[in-house]
């Protein structure tokens, strides 16, 4: 049988305008999951996707959850069984005044770097999601069938913490389990190198609340005699790192291994400049562990970061008080080998041990998820790397992910599946910010990339 891929790619090129219009229709739906006022819009987005998938020959349905619905679809036969995951919900648009246009009125903007699709959700994740659906459309239109057995799972709560996801996976594990999960919620390296993320850091979120006196105190009457909880908290936070950038929580590095020589060499070939990367945000000097490369610090080493501190009077003017309470939000990015529960407990014990007399501390947890590491020996990784290299004309890279994409860990823990993460967003896409965009090139070549990948997976 002749390879249908060239004809499928031609069909994608000829139908790009229609594909963009379908994406625009989805982008016009204000599916903001965090705001109850948009619950009906989230429901409409799920309905729209069910209809699109049904039109491609999938057996598609909208599944209720305690929150926003899931979309589940099954189609194709033969070859490997893959599960594609995406999310149809989007971030809020605030501050609205910083947008150059209505965030839910998508349009093509011409920029010095080329045309872009401008709208909320263009990159995260509707544009990325639609690259896969459009690749399926091209396969079905050209050959009359999907390239292999495909299950689609589209979520409506990713931007609000995915509270319904794990229970849904657990309740529908047999239906959803496949040979490999495909996730298109990542990006290119350096905006040009096609990339497959092979590791993701885990995340522990903690809020520390230090309580001192029973009420705010006049600093002239009590200052110097009474313990200030802000002083106690900032002393602890100031001791979180040593002068070498290492986290000082006992046992924090238990289970953490150095990356192997092959991975280090592969990352060095990417030509990453830590100074150049920081220069884009007005910084100049790496602040992580000394003796580690920039990419090691971003992808392969655990971190502790202070995300916010609140205490005392923070309004206009000045108020001389000793605050009764001080709060800080602290997050830990974890790597393979670290136990998030042990890290959380060790941090809490470490903070408690440093509390002075007259101060008590309590903690409010904000999630604890382990890191994910993928087996790149799986045939799907080989197929995708070859397909991406062929499409982009640049050798595709296996990279690490500095952030956390919990779904990959959930697929591993609940469904026993590896995840292949390949996306086409760029650092300039302004996801979660005003004027979000997705390059037309990313959308177009993203469709072609998935079409090629599905063809190689079909061949086995």
Peptide bond between residue 270 and the one before it cis (omega within 30 degrees of 0): no
DSSP state of 297: I
Q: Which of 369, 387, 407 is the last residue of a domain?
A: 369
pLDDT band at 409 (very low <50, low <70, confident <90, very high): confident
User: Residue for token digits 């289970």?
Assistant: 255
Give domain status of residue 249, yes or no: yes
Give per-residue pLDDT as tens, 130-165: 999 999 999 999 999 999 999 999 999 999 989 999
Give domain status of residue 451, yes or no: yes
Give domain status of residue 340, yes or no: yes
Nearest C-alpha neighbor of 75 from the set 153, 178, 152: 152
Does the structure show a pLDDT above 90 at 2?
A: no
Give per-residue pLDDT as tens, 273-299: 999 999 988 999 999 999 999 999 999
pLDDT band at 1 (very low <50, low <70, confident <90, very high): low
Under 8 Å between Cβ of 36 and 79? no
Number of domains into which the chain is organized: 2
pLDDT band at 460 (very low <50, low <70, confident <90, very high): confident
Q: Which of 369, 404, 420 is the last residue of a domain?
A: 369
Task: Kindly report whether the global pTM for this prediction surpasses the value 0.95.
Answer: no
- Alpha carbon 235 to its chain's center: 32
The residues facing 197 across adjacent strands are 399, 421
Residue 444 has φ and ψ, to the nearest 5°, of -65, -55
Kindly state the average pLDDT of the residues 339-359: 98
**84-98, 257-271, 337-351: the lowest-pLDDT one:** 257-271
Q: What is the pLDDT of residue 52?
A: 98
| Residue 193 structural domain | 5-200+372-459
Give per-residue pLDDT as tens, 221-249: 999 999 999 999 999 999 999 999 999 99
Give domain status of residue 267, yes or no: no
Q: Are residues 228 and 338 in the same domain?
A: yes
Give domain status of residue 270, yes or no: no
pLDDT band at 357 (very low <50, low <70, confident <90, very high): very high
Q: What is the mean pLDDT of the chain?
A: 96
Q: Are residues 328 and 446 in the same domain?
A: no
Give domain status of residue 24, yes or no: yes
**36-45, 303-312, 328-337, 371-380: the lowest-pLDDT one:** 371-380
SS3 90: strand
Give per-residue pLDDT as tens, 46-74: 999 999 999 999 999 999 999 999 999 99
Q: Are residues 223 and 362 in the same domain?
A: yes
Q: Which of 336, 353, 369 is the last residue of a domain?
A: 369
Give domain status of residue 281, yes or no: no
Percentage, residues of the chain above pLDDT 90 = 93
CATH code of the domain containing 327? 3.30.70.360
Q: Are residues 58 and 193 in the same domain?
A: yes
Q: Are residues 433 and 417 in the same domain?
A: yes
Distance CA 72, CA 58 (A): 9
CATH code of the domain containing 117? 3.40.630.10
Give domain status of residue 288, yes or no: no
DSSP string, 243-281: TTS-B-STTTTTT--PPPHHHHHHHHTTT--HHHHHHTT
Q: Are residues 426 and 311 in the same domain?
A: no
Q: What is the pLDDT of residue 320?
A: 95
Q: Are residues 175 and 30 in the same domain?
A: yes
Nearest C-alpha neighbor of 189 from the set 300, 253, 118, 269: 269
Structure tokens at 229: 């909880």
Q: Are residues 422 and 363 in the same domain?
A: no
Distance CA 114, CA 443 (A): 13
Distance CA 432, CA 436 (A): 7
Distance CA 202, CA 205 (A): 10
Nearest C-alpha neighbor of 27 from the set 91, 86, 108, 106: 106
Q: Is 383 exposed, middle or buried (0-12, 13-18, 19+ CB in 10 A)?
A: buried
Q: Are residues 82 and 168 in the same domain?
A: yes
The half-sphere exposure of 142 on its side-chain side, counting CA atoms within 13 A, is: 23
Distance CA 101, CA 99 (A): 5
Q: Are residues 153 and 237 in the same domain?
A: no
Distance CA 20, CA 437 (A): 13
Does the structure show a pLDDT above 90 at 14?
A: yes
Q: Are residues 19 and 107 in the same domain?
A: yes
Q: Are residues 243 and 149 in the same domain?
A: no
């Amino acid at each position: 049988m002749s390879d249908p891929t060239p004809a499928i790619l031609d069909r994608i090129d000829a139908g790009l305008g229609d594909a963009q219009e379908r994406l625009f229709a989805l982008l016009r739906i204000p599916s903001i999951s965090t705001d109850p006022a948009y619950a009906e819009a989230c429901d409409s987005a799920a309905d729209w996707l069910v209809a699109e998938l049904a039109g491609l020959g999938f057996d598609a349905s909208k599944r209720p959850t305690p929150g926003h619905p899931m979309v589940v679809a099954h189609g194709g036969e033969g070859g490997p069984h893959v599960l594609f995951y995406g999310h149809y919900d989007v971030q809020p648009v605030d501050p609205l005044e910083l947008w150059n246009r209505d965030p839910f009125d998508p349009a093509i903007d011409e920029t010095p770097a080329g045309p872009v699709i401008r709208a909320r959700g263009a990159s995260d994740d509707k544009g990325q999601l639609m690259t896969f659906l459009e690749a399926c459309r091209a396969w079905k239109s050209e050959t009359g069938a999907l390239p292999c057995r495909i299950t689609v799972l589209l979520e409506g709560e990713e931007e609000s913490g995915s509270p319904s996801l794990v229970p849904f996976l657990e309740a529908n594990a047999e239906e959803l389990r496949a040979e490999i999960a495909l996730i298109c919620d990542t990006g290119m390296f350096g905006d040009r190198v096609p990339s497959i993320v092979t590791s993701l850091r885990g995340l522990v979120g903690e809020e520390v609340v230090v309580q001192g006196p029973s009420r705010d105190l006049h600093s002239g009457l009590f200052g110097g005699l009474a313990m200030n909880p802000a002083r106690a908290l900032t002393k602890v936070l100031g001791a979180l790192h040593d002068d070498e950038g290492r986290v000082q929580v006992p046992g924090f590095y238990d289970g953490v291994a150095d990356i192997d020589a092959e991975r280090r060499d592969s990352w060095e070939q990417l030509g990453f400049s830590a100074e150049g990367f920081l220069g884009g945000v007005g910084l100049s000097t790496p602040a992580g562990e000394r003796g580690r490369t920039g990419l090691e610090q971003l992808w392969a080493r655990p971190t502790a970061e202070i995300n916010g501190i609140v205490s005392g009077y923070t309004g206009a003017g000045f108020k001389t008080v000793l605050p009764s309470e001080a709060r800080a939000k602290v997050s830990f990015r974890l790597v393979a080998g670290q136990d998030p529960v042990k890290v959380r407990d060790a941090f809490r014990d470490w903070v408690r041990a440093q509390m002075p007399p007259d101060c008590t501390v309590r903690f409010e947890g904000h999630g604890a998820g382990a890191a994910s590491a993928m087996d790149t020996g799986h045939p799907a990784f080989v197929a995708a790397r070859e397909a991406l290299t062929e499409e982009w004309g640049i050798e595709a890279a296996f990279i690490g992910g500095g952030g956390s994409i919990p779904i990959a860990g959930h697929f591993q823990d609940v469904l026993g599946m590896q995840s292949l993460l390949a996306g086409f967003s760029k650092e300039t896409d302004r996801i979660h910010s005003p004027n979000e965009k997705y390059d037309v090139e990313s959308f177009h070549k993203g469709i072609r990339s998935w079409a090629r990948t599905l063809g190689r997976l079909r061949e086995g």
